[in-house]
Amino acid sequence: MTGFVGLTRCLANCGSDRASPQVLESVARQLLIPFAGLRYVYYSEALMARPAVRITRYGQVFAHALVHAFNAPSGDTLYINGNHAGHPPFGVRVGGVLPVSPFCIASLMGVDGVCAEAGASIGYLPFPDFVLLELHIRFPFR
């Protein structure tokens, strides 16, 4: 999994009783977060020439464990608002994908249609410690 994160690191005047403003450097980068887990996939298809029927069903659910990013910046890092970015040892992600398009109903009636898929996942990233929410709709090309 990959994603861009905009973090900073304090170089000077980092204490809580600072009389001068903090000196920050950007450590923004595209993170590479490895993950592994379980995935269950359901697939079914029915094709007939007469009457013209084309039914495709596809669904999946998954649970992944995410580990610390390969290229995470070292040291204490801060979000843009000044809060510390945590470093938990691992994270999780669970979700699924289902066919939900009204075009799939047209396929059941013998009209060639395109079945869209909707998916969602929620999780907790290991670096920076952040809640992950993913929503998507995919339309296949034929």
CA distance 59 to 105: 16
**Closest to 35 measured CA to CA, from 2, 84, 82, 80:** 2
Beta-carbon-side half-sphere exposure of residue 25 (alpha carbons within 13 Å)? 7
Mean pLDDT of the chain: 82
Radius of gyration (C-alpha) of the chain in whole angstroms: 23
pLDDT at 82: 81
Element (H, E) at 36: strand 35-48
* Domain ranges within the chain, ordered by starting residue: 2-138
| Tens-digit pLDDT profile for residues 24-73 | 889 999 999 999 999 999 887 777 777 766 666 778 999 999 998 889 88
In this prediction the pTM is: 0.70
pLDDT at 39: 94
Length of the chain: 142
Question: How would you write 109-133 as a 3-class SS string?
Answer: CCCCCCCCEEEEEEEEEECCEEEEE
Show the tokens assigned to 57.
């069903």
